């Protein structure tokens, strides 16, 4: 942490002390902020005629989800909430605890589950994504039930969460996303007779909108915390300042948030368009956030600078290049399924939404996949200008190698025509000194056949409250790479920190007919051992058959105890005999493979084990399922090659 950042954090602590007197108690009467302007109007509705362009199946899906919300149903991190028709904004159904409502926000340790319960579960409902779905259903149908329940829940939240009271004021990213949700609720309810009374004519709404922007102005995430949190905070500030310019400070907030957003996006983005956190989920999340904010700025004639739009163009090109044939993104690093804006319910993800917005606003290249329209992408794009002419030259072929982030995609096809997709990792450990969302996964691979995980990145599962599982899902043991001496490549310093991290070096890339088919790299994470070694790995894919060859080797002075693990996806069945595993799954055209394992190691399979954990797959944040892990253990001498091969179809003799 730099000296400047230490100073900023000390300033924040001092402000926490002085702001204590500003806390507003639950039940205090709402008053219009002194900064409020006399003229208050909402001047950024959706354009006329847009509703008629929404596909019928999209409308039906939105209304189906909204009807479920009216009945009390909403999915939160793998749990079907049944109380969402009238939620307790502080209750965590995972632990049964109720987070503090009346305490001064900066006194609450939101990382302590004994105090707050699972805070992510509490915060998620207060992002108001379910309310944007209700507002969207009203916009599509003009059925007043959706608007009335949405309005009642907003009033409930505003009354229960006055300034600096309770857990919902403890994290700036939550305020930023909430502001974006409120902007869209006001927009989608624009033709509802009660919309003005709910927002610009409502002292409680004016207080909350002003409080949120003042808080985010006073406590911006900086330095080692300047990741997706910093971006979400400025997105919320910018969206609110553009859509709700109802305060004397609104113009200043709009200019400042736009400038900060541009700087943070530049700091968080490699030149090749990849997000520097090197966590796939956050690449999509940040893209969706910034596309939403940039569209808000366009809607009020305050377009953000061309360099920001070019960064967005590079980001959507990277996303289009990295997905597999089914549209699935990689699973590298952390992911909490965060969304900037949800109008469709829990369908799609930030990658698919961002790609469709990008296609509409930034244009595509001939190699791009087809994008999938959603209400979110249609509505956000309708606010934005056409920025295709402002883009830098786009790639004329699908990129397969992102050198800055060390992400390389090797593709092939089985003889039956199924796509084989292999992500190889030779990039930095993560972003900044904390690398908060990185995993100890140097040289790890993901391997899929027509979108089915054969060799899977197990995912994330949790952040707070379950330290054993937080540690497992981010450590070397949970990834498709080699573990040496029973040690992880990188040493944890906490749930979002690292004491030391492996440094990875790309050694070679191999091409056939201009397509990437081979990759070699090494890392130094085990140079810290008493007898230091370097792990070398190469992966080659036969583009004509999809067959894969993986070679692992150690360089050093002495033999080491090693464990080589391959984590199978949750759809894969495994029959292991010696050093040969037969894998089967419900594939479209290819549904079986043979995994030929190094005979130098002793192989065993593991599934759903808890002490220590092994054999788990997290399909989404908050969910974990038993899956099969194949583990080979033994002593490996320097220079000995461990060879793993995957064969398909007619090659299975």
pLDDT in tens, 104-161: 999 999 999 999 999 999 999 999 999 999 999 999 999 999 999 999 999 999 999 9
pLDDT value of residue 375: 98
pLDDT value of residue 226: 82
- Supply the DSSP string of 546-589, one letter for each residue: --EEEEEEEEESS-EEEEEEEEBPTT-EEEEETTEEEEE---SS
Q: Is a pLDDT exceeding 90 seen at residue 224? A: no
Helices (H), 346-505: 350-361, 375-383, 467-474
Helix (H/G/I), strand (E/B), else coil: 424: strand
pLDDT value of residue 608: 98
What is this structure's pTM?
0.97
466: closest CA among 285, 271, 622? 622
Q: Is a pLDDT exceeding 70 seen at residue 1? A: no
127: closest CA among 185, 44, 48? 185
* Alpha carbon distance 89, 159 (integer Å): 11
Tell me: the pLDDT tens digits for 339-394?
Answer: 999 999 877 799 999 999 999 999 999 999 999 999 999 999 999 999 998 888 99
CA of residue 359 relative to chain centroid, distance? 20
**Percent of the chain at pLDDT above 70?**
99
> Exposed, middle or buried by CB within 10 Å (0-12, 13-18, 19+), for 208?
buried
Q: Are strands 482-484 and 452-455 parallel, antiparallel or unpaired?
A: unpaired
How many CB atoms are closer than 10 A to CB 589? 13
Structural domain boundaries in the chain: 1-268, 271-399, 401-651
Q: Is a pLDDT exceeding 90 seen at residue 468? A: yes
Residues facing 483 on adjacent strands: 563
Tell me: the pLDDT tens digits for 17-33?
Answer: 999 999 999 999 999 99
Both structure tokens of 103: 């305490």
**pLDDT bucket at 652, cuts 50 / 70 / 90:** low
Q: Are strands 560-567 and 482-484 parallel, antiparallel or unpaired?
A: antiparallel
pLDDT value of residue 218: 97
Which residue is listed with tokens 């709700």?
244
Cis preceding-peptide flag for 294 (omega within 30 of 0): no
Both structure tokens of 610: 């808890």
* Alpha carbon distance 410, 412 (integer Å): 7
**pLDDT bucket at 169, cuts 50 / 70 / 90:** very high
What is the average pLDDT across 473-477?
A: 98
Q: Is a pLDDT exceeding 70 seen at residue 629? A: yes
pLDDT value of residue 222: 87
Contact in structure between 414 and 648 (CB atoms under 8 Å): yes
Tell me: the pLDDT tens digits for 40-68?
Answer: 999 999 999 999 999 999 999 999 999 99
Contact in structure between 516 and 510 (CB atoms under 8 Å): yes
> Exposed, middle or buried by CB within 10 Å (0-12, 13-18, 19+), for 184?
buried
Fold topology of 401-651: Beta-galactosidase; Chain A, domain 5 (2.70.98)
**Whole-number mean pLDDT of the chain?**
96
Tell me: the pLDDT tens digits for 424-438?
Answer: 999 999 998 889 999
């Amino acid at each position: 942490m730099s000296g400047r950042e230490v100073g900023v954090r000390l300033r924040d602590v001092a402000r926490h002390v002085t702001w204590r007197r500003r806390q507003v108690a639950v039940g205090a009467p709402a008053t219009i902020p002194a900064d409020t302007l006399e003229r208050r109007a909402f001047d950024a509705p959706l354009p006329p005629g847009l509703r008629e362009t929404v596909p019928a199946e999209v409308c039906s899906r939105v209304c189906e989800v909204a009807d479920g919300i009216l009945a009390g149903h909403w999915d939160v991190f793998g749990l079907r909430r049944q109380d969402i028709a009238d939620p307790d904004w502080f209750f965590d159904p995972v632990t049964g605890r109720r987070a503090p409502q009346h305490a001064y926000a900066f006194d609450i340790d939101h990382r302590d589950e004994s105090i707050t319960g699972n805070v992510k579960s509490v915060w998620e409902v207060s992002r108001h994504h379910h309310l944007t779905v209700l507002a969207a259903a009203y916009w599509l149908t003009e059925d007043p039930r959706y608007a009335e329940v949405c309005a009642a829940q907003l009033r409930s939240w505003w009354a229960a969460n006055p300034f600096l009271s309770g857990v919902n004021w403890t994290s700036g990213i939550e305020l930023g996303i909430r502001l974006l949700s409120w902007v869209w609720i006001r927009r989608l309810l624009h033709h509802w007779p009660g919309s003005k009374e709910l927002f610009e004519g409502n002292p409680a709404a004016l207080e909350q909108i002003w409080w949120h922007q003042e808080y985010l102005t006073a406590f911006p995430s900086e330095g080692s915390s300047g990741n997706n949190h910093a971006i979400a905070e400025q997105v919320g500030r910018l969206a609110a300042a553009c859509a709700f310019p109802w305060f004397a400070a609104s113009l200043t907030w709009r200019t400042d948030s736009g400038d900060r957003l541009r700087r943070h996006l530049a700091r968080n983005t490699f030149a090749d368009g990849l997000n520097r956190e090197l966590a796939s989920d956050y690449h999509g999340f940040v893209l969706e956030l910034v596309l939403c904010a940039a569209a808000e700025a366009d809607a009020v004639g305050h377009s953000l600078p061309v360099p920001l739009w070019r960064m967005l163009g590079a980001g959507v090109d990277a996303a289009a290049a990295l997905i597999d044939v089914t549209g699935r993104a990689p699973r590298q690093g952390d992911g909490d399924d965060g969304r900037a804006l949800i109008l469709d319910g829990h369908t799609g993800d930030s990658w698919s939404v961002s790609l469709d917005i990008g296609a509409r606003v930034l244009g595509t290249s001939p190699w791009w996949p087809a994008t999938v329209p959603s209400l979110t992408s249609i509505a956000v794009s309708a606010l934005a200008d056409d920025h295709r002419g402002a883009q830098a030259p786009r790639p004329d072929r699908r990129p397969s190698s992102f050198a800055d982030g060390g992400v390389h995609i090797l593709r092939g096809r089985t003889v039956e025509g199924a796509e084989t997709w292999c992500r190889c990792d030779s990039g930095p450990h993560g972003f900044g000194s904390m690398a908060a969302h990185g995993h100890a996964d140097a040289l790890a691979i993901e391997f899929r056949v027509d979108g089915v995980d054969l060799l899977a990145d197990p995912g994330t599962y949790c952040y707070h409250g379950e330290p054993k599982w937080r540690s497992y899902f981010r450590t070397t043991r949970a990834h498709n790479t080699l573990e040496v001496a029973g040690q992880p490549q990188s040493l944890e310093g906490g749930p979002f920190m690292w004491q030391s991290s492996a440094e990875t070096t790309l050694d070679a890339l191999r091409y056939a007919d201009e397509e990437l088919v081979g990759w070699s790299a090494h890392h130094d994470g085990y140079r810290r051992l008493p007898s230091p070694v370097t792990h070398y790995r190469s992966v080659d894919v036969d583009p004509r058959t999809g067959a894969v060859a993986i070679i692992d080797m150690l360089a050093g002075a002495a033999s080491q105890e090693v464990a080589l693990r391959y984590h199978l996806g949750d759809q894969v069945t495994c029959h292991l005999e010696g050093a040969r595993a037969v894998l089967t799954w419900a594939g479209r055209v290819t549904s079986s493979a043979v995994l030929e394992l190094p005979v130098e190691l002793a192989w065993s399979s593991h599934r759903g084990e808890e002490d220590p954990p092994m054999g788990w797959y997290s399909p989404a944040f908050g969910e974990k399922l038993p899956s099969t892990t194949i583990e080979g253990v033994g002593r490996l001498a320097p220079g000995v090659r461990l060879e793993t091969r995957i064969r398909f179809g007619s090659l299975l003799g």
